[in-house]
Amino acid sequence: MIQVHTCQNGVRIVSEQIDSVRSVAIGIFVNAGSRYELPEENGITHFIEHMLFKGTANRTARQIAEEFDRIGGELNAFTSKENTCYYAKVLDHHAERAITILADMFFNSTFAEEELEKERQVVLEEIFMSEDAPDDDVHEKLWEVMYPNDALGRPILGTAKTLPTFTAEKIRQYMAKHYGPASVVISVAGNISKALLQTIEELFGHYEASPLAITPTLTTPAFHAGEIMKTRDTEQAHLAMSFPAIHVKDPDMYSFIALNNIIGGNMSSRLFQEVREERGLAYTIFSYQSCYVDVGTFTIYGSTSRQQLPQLQHTIDATLLDIVAGGITEEELDNAKEQLKGSFVLGLEGTGARMNRNGTSELVHGKHRSVDEVLASIDAVSMESVNRLIAKILKAEPAIAMIGPIE
């Protein structure tokens, strides 16, 4: 059973007791992502994620790592376009120690100049690594095409231009704006003790919002169709194309996921069968959905040799046109729904997955649906709802990005 407790300062604690396990997963979710950054701040959310591991007033970076290694725990973090999460998974009897270390990182990081300089170089290498990988770079270029005038179109990692400007003062100002208690959700799943929940409230339930704290506001960005080509000396040409789609709270969300599965989300999908199995045009071909609080996209990616790139494009276009003209079959829809139900249920077997789902649900939706409610929503997906999305999404003009030996 999922329980939500709101502390006096606004921090929400979401807990799910799982008696059958001996571990606990803990996540600190913050409503701070790259799309809330000003242009000159691009990349600072991700940089802060790195810096919270680089030492506090009580622990060095090495001590943080050694303490988690000593208790056999996992410690990590991620930054997305809309939120940041710092998380740990430990044996249940080490959970209070884990949240104490996480709180130390959250509240007491020093952002020492020496560590700032080292981590700037680390993130710079991460940026270079992404740019060196054409299958990553093509998606970054695609976002630039889709949202050229919005933070949603800028890279989560930031750029070599913005990175050197992030000082300790700028980091503290950004955290003062975005890390206030109203923006924080603590999600815990596993064999949870009352003492752990009390410790979480003692650590996070009393800090006050800064006078600089803001409520992030969004102006829904317009999707831009268009094309970008980047010539590189690579063995393969990489193609990514996106269509404007629905936001994460849209009632047709499960229909969208089912449609994605049918088009390119698994090995039995139209694209996988046509592009790889029938024609042998590519080793990698897939589609996926990206959904945010106000906008969403449907993306297709494939890579092939320069000689076969026109045929790959033609096959993708023909597959989509066939779906627009003839729709999908009842068998495809039934298979997609069963696959979706299986993936959903199997994905909840770990404490980490449950912690992540609950934290995201609270942060984004402010409510929690039971497994049975989700399965019922999947069962309710119909030919009508899927056809509605086909007309809405696949008839739009796409954004296209290509990288490789394409000239």
228 SS3 class: strand
**DSSP sequence for 192-224:** --HHHHHHHHHHHSSPPPPTT-------PPPP-
CA-CA-CA-CA dihedral for 193, 9, 103, 355, to nearest 10:
50
- Contacts (Cβ under 8 Å, ≥6 apart) of 29: 83, 84, 85, 184, 185, 186, 187, 359, 360, 362, 363
- C-alpha 22/C-alpha 150 separation (Å) is 44
Amino acid identity at 137: D
- C-alpha 391/C-alpha 167 separation (Å) is 48
Two tokens at 247?
């936001």
**DSSP sequence for 342-358:** HHHHHTTSSHHHHHHHH
Catalytic residue among 16, 37, 41, 49: 49
Q: Is 67 in the active site?
A: no
Burial class of residue 144, CB neighbours in 10 A (0-12, 13-18, 19+): middle
Number of residues that this document lists for the chain: 407
Chain mean position to CA 290: 8
- Contacts (Cβ under 8 Å, ≥6 apart) of 343: none
Contact 290, 260 (CB under 8 A): no
Residue 315, number of CB atoms within 10 A of its CB: 21
Longest dimension (CA), the chain: 64
CA dihedral sign, ordered 317, 320, 324, 327: positive
- Phi, psi dihedrals of residue 396, rounded to the nearest 5°: -80, 160
Contact 384, 258 (CB under 8 A): no
- C-alpha 174/C-alpha 156 separation (Å) is 15
Q: Which sequence positions are flagged as catalytic?
A: 49
